[in-house]
Structure 1
């Protein structure tokens, strides 16, 4: 099965403008941009035939080409990374069996998360899939702390017994009454895999009310009756966190130092 990884990146983030070019210091003291670290995470994935940065911004494109990335320019009209991926597929000479969207704000994504996703897409019945990670105590505390302080942090997922998604939210679901005895909470990992046909269908649907309210692109699939397959993955001791707000820089740099990631 052929698979291509796209890394959508835009400069005009509402919560954190210029986020892809924010520098993160690694364990050796070397600073690299967020988009470079996300690209390096994608390049470590086995089973991907190519990796492209997708952007509509010349500053991001120039920076990406500077560290060796292949870049595809997309339109300013793309409202989210999934729409940007659909535009990227249209520019490829050969259509892959599977398109992976590794968002440009997730440099801590372990290769095995994406590899598990590609493996799950080998089932022809799966139209779209995304990884979920059971929250450890540190991650759950970060979630709850962000919401208590009015920050929108990561995303949680609630799944059916058959592994398909019931809902995704920027709220902490289910409700956490106490961090001492919390329920099982699943962190949605910011990676998606799609069939090219699913991306084509996505572009034909309008933005739905739930997608608009939550700011979560994957909800458009659920709102249009397309199952989203959740793929449970193991952290193996690695703390996973996206860069959503300026406060996350220190959190991610702490993980880079702890894991010895240069």
Structure 2
């Protein structure tokens, strides 16, 4: 069986209802993410793309885009659980499932393909991309969190690249920041890009396990794996030119359109 890129796409977002159907510079959010998934699948090889949703309007739009749809239960509590529901019966026990968040339209396709390659060539249960913030990006993230405190996730990594923790707070706290700023252009903060690759066995465990305590506090499903002692490989990628935090608010939509006007549209034609 081929590996699978699943795009979870809910209509009932608490902060931005119906966001998969909202336009960004003339193309819907879902259309943009589907295009990323298709390009990544072609780059990785032996991989297919599917949209997982609980809403008929989103399903109809996905079919209009020519992508397969899995209808999943509205009660599912995370994108990973929705990805598992879509993948069950379609991916073998040793296969891979990529959860390409339906609100992350500017993820470079090569990043998605690199997650697949990392899992194919390694032993981690989960893989996810991160990038190092320079000081200017860190300043922008801090400012952004004044208006959208739960938009944007940071990561602490071990020396071998495995994740130690993720948080919606900017971590680590930085002592003697002015000295570090004078020493070089790169901060010690890693920002997380919102997609994951899983071994099917790890994803099946996740779907059956109870949420972790810190997962509930942070609203970060990947903490369920870390709280249980499972391994998440972080894949270092280049700092993106386009805004890549999830589209969670109307302000995020406007920021995305401003970035496209300034830097061009990365939509993979």
Q: Is the structural similarity TM-score above 0.5?
A: yes
- Distance, in Å, in 2 between the alignment partners of 1:65 and 1:94 is 25
Q: Moved runs in structure 1, 4+ residues, more than 4 A? A: 93-96, 176-180, 236-239
CA pair 172-12 structure 1, distance change in 2 beyond 3 A: same
Q: CA deviation at 1:208?
A: 1.1
| Partner residue in 2 for 1:28 | none
Q: CA deviation at 1:70?
A: 1.3
Equivalent residue for 1:3? Answer: 3
Q: 1:114 aligns with which of 112, 115, 119?
A: 112
- Give the 5 Å matches for 1:32-181: 32-45=27-40, 46-48=43-45, 49-92=47-90, 97-137=95-135, 139-149=137-147, 151-175=149-173, 181=181
Is the 8 Å Cα contact of residues 83 and 99 (structure 2) preserved in structure 1? yes
Displacement of 1:256: 2.5
Can you give the 5+ residue segments of structure 1 that lack an aligned partner in the other structure? Answer: 26-30
For 2:90 and 2:104, the matched residues in 1 are separated by 24
Return the offset for 1:118: 1.0
TM-superposed deviation, 1:129: 0.8
> Across the two proteins, how many residue pairs are aligned to each other?
257
Question: CA, structure 1 residues 231+18, in 2 after alignment: closer, same or farther (shift >3 Å)?
Answer: same
CA distance in 1, matches of 2:157, 2:103: 24
Aligned CA distance change for structure 1 residues 224 and 22 (closer, same or farther; 3 Å): same
For 1:215-244, what per-residue CA distance to the aligned partner results, in whole angstroms no more than 9, with x for missing partners? 111110011110111111113645433212
> Root-mean-square deviation (CA), in Å?
2.2
Is contact 2:167-2:218 (8 Å) kept? Answer: yes
- Quick check: 194-203 or 61-70, which moved more? 61-70
The TM-score normalised by the length of structure 2 is 0.88
| Structure 1 residues 244 and 166: alpha-carbon distance in aligned structure 2, compared to 1, 3 A threshold | same
Return closer, same or farther for 1:104/1:218 CA change in 2, 3 Å cut-off. same
TM-aligned CA distance change 1:225 to 1:214, over 3 Å:
same
The equivalent residue for 1:247 is: 251
- TM-score, with structure 1 as normaliser: 0.90
Normalized per residue, which structure has more helix?
2
Q: Distance in 2 between matches of 1:55 and 1:96?
A: 24
Corresponding residue of 1:14? 14
